[in-house]
Amino acid sequence: MVTMKSTAAGLLLTSFLVLTACGAAGSGNGNGSAAGSNGQEPANNAANAQPANESADASAGNAAEPAKEPVTIEFWYGLGGKLGENMQKLIDKFNASQQDVIVKPVVQADYSETEKKLQAAIASGDVPAAVLSSNVDWARKGYYAPIDDLLAALPDFNKDDVVPTFLEQGQVDGKQYFLPMYGTTQVMYYRKDALEKSGIKPEELTTWEALAKAADKMAVKSGGKTTFYGWEPMWGADNMIDAAYGKGGKILSDDGKTVLIDSPEWISTWDFFRKTIFDDKTMRIHSGGQGWEYWYQTIDDVMKGQAAGYTGSSGDQGDLDFTQLAAIEQPGWEGAGPGKPVAQAILAGIPAKASPEQQKAALEWFAFFMSPENTAFWSMNTGYIAVRQSALDDPAFVEFSKANPQSTIPLKQAAHASKPFQDPTGGKITDALKVAADKLQISGEPAEKVLKEAKETAQREMDKLNK
């Protein structure tokens, strides 16, 4: 349930990613709209392939075997701007790195359009081999191919190096259906001058309690009004859900039948935010407006010196001035250990109707994209999270992080993060939490009241499923 501001910045998108195109390559011949979609045709490396050696017995008259044609696959995704440019760079790099597979990019406008077109492609049987998309229900219906056997056949793919919470998000009923291409999580951005002025060390802000004290110390009030805020959480349920997870809160019981969002862990966590916003007036949120207006208002408060810091997406890093700002991980709670905010993976899958050779080729492309070097490149150039823990040791990333220490924070946080909630009611529980968050953050209603109301709504929906 991570809010993905990166959609607004042209960096990210919301929710699961599913990108499609007008044409597909189910037959493996690469026909379709890939070249036309971006006006660029990847180089065909077949011309560089070497013929097989002729038989040592020349008298046998055996002719050399013809060179094996590369497998051409379409990769559907919907990334524009700099994201699209960086994706094209990695596709070109992959195509130039070997002679067995050619990836043809098929770029779409957005993820919802891709899902619709992918659904049509699945129905017709003419599917792409690789899609930046994931859908648990479709995996269960057999629309996506399980990839455990394909992964086992890759000699150099180290699953243990993949950030665990990202890899697990690609699993459905115990099988791996999707692989994480990159991730996003919400971290803390602060003004260096604001903390320094108040004598606050960022390494001390490891708990929400410590942050509340720091916010109270940094806030400036005049005539009963706050003119400088100590912190600004982002509007919506996500920040407060992250904090509830850090205290041990759960949305559902282990058996998946009982909604637990009115537990003491939830109530005390959410009341913490209500108190700082309405009673202490040391924190505030921006809400409403058109699109992502509230998000940019929050960022502007910090950039213009009207607030000490805010909680935002890892994808914000491309929009921030780190001569003034720095980043830290989300805090935990006293006695509860490190925070456990959600880290969401952007997943890629292989349609089940792709041919076996295309499925193998698609996985080779995914593994290439996920290599330590390439996932580090993606992180450095987009602000998204690298999916391999060893990316922190990549030489280029090491050098980059020396000049940009904020770049390491999302990956470090992802190592102990929570998985996004998969709502079994089709969004009814998530919606109930959104309504509750608005009542608390905008109207100042008590946490216990809004969460009990949300629990009752959510439990009715769960009971319908459990009949």
Residues 196 and 330 occupy one common structural domain: yes
**DSSP secondary structure letter of residue 444:** -
Triad 28, 31, 37: Cα angle to 5°: 125
Residue 35: pLDDT over 60: no
CB of 24 within 8 A of CB of 128? yes
Compute the average pLDDT of residues 58-70. 61
Q: What is the mean pLDDT of residues 150-155?
A: 93
Mean per-residue pLDDT, 137-162:
94
DSSP 261: T
Q: Are residues 223 and 298 in the same domain?
A: yes
Sequence letter at residue 120: A
Amino acid 113: pLDDT: 74
C-alpha span between 380 and 397 (Å, rounded): 7
Number of domains observed in the structure of the chain: 2
Residue 63 included in any domain: no
**Among 363, 12, 6, 1, which residue's Cα sits nearest to residue 157?**
363
325 and 445 inside one domain:
yes
Q: How many angstroms separate the CA atoms of 448 and 262, rounded?
A: 7
Paired sense of beta strands 71-77 and 309-313, if any:
unpaired
398 shares a domain with 360: yes
Q: Which of 378, 373, 253, 392 is nearest to 315 (CA)?
A: 378
Please, which pLDDT band fits residue 44 given cuts at 50, 70 and 90?
very low
In whole numbers, what is the pLDDT of the chain averaged over residues? 86
Distance CA 77, CA 92 (A): 15
Is the Cβ–Cβ distance between 36 and 44 less than 8 Å? no
Identify whether residues 296 and 169 lie together within a single domain.
no
Residue 117: band (very low, low, confident or very high) from pLDDT cuts 50, 70, 90: confident
Is 230 within a domain?
yes
* Banded model confidence at residue 1, pLDDT cuts 50, 70, 90: very low
- Is residue 296 assigned to a domain? yes
pLDDT at 273 over 70: yes
Q: Taking a C-beta distance cutoff of 8 angstroms, is the pair 417, 224 a contact? A: no
Specify whether 80 is located in the same domain as 193: no
Q: Per-residue confidence at 466, pLDDT binned at 50, 70, 90?
A: confident
404 assigned to some structural domain: yes
118 Cβ neighbours under 8 A, 6+ residues apart: 18, 20, 76, 127, 128, 131, 133, 351
Contact 107, 37 (CB under 8 A): yes
- Residue 112 banded pLDDT, cuts 50, 70, 90: low
pLDDT digits (tens, 9 = 90+) for 379-433: 998 888 999 999 989 999 999 999 999 999 998 998 899 999 989 998 899 999 9
- Max Cα–Cα distance, the chain, nearest Å: 103
Residue 55 lies in a domain: no
Last residue of a domain, one of 370, 392, 414: 414
Same structural domain, 408 and 426: no
Whether 107 and 133 map to the same domain: the answer is yes
Instruction: For residue 58, tell me if it sits in a domain.
Output: no
Beta strand extents in 391-457 (DSSP E only): none
Q: Residue 13 pLDDT > 60, yes or no?
A: no
- pTM value is 0.72
Burial class (CB in 10 A: 0-12, 13-18, 19+), 15: middle
Helix (H, G, I), strand (E, B) or coil at 342: strand
Last residue of a domain, one of 370, 385, 414: 414
Q: Binning pLDDT at 50, 70 and 90, where does residue 15 land? A: very low
What is the token pair recorded at 115? 């899902």
Question: Hey, how many other C-beta atoms are within 10 angstroms of the C-beta on 140?
Answer: 12
Domain that holds residue 99: 5-50+69-184+344-414
Out of 394, 414, 434, a domain closes at 414
Q: Are residues 316 and 381 in the same domain?
A: no
Nearest to 344 by CA among 176, 171, 196, 166: 166
My answer on whether 90 and 32 are in the same domain is: yes
CATH number for the domain spanning 366: value is 3.40.190.10
Axis crossing angle, helix 356-369 with helix 81-97, rounded to the nearest 10: 110
What angle separates helix 428-441 from helix 238-246, to the nearest 10 degrees?
A: 100
Regarding whether 316 and 193 lie in a shared domain, the answer is: yes
b/e sequence 284-294, b meaning 16+ C-beta within 10 Å = bbbbeeeebeb
Task: Specify which of 59-68, 293-302, 410-419 reaches the highest per-range mean pLDDT.
Answer: 293-302
Whether the CB-CB separation of 143 and 122 falls below 8 Å is answered with yes
Question: Are the C-beta atoms of 71 and 101 separated by less than 8 Å?
Answer: yes
39 inside domain? yes
Question: Which DSSP category does 5 fall into?
Answer: G
Q: Is residue 62 part of a domain?
A: no
Helix (H, G, I), strand (E, B) or coil at 256: coil
Token pair 């559902």: residue: 252
Q: Is the pLDDT of residue 242 over 50?
A: yes
Per residue in 250-271, pLDDT (tens digit) is 999 999 999 999 999 999 999 9
Q: Which amino acid is at 64?
A: A
The DSSP output letter for 413 is H
pLDDT value at 55 more than 60: no
Q: Are residues 371 and 338 in the same domain?
A: no
Q: Are 283 and 233 in contact (CB under 8 A)?
A: yes
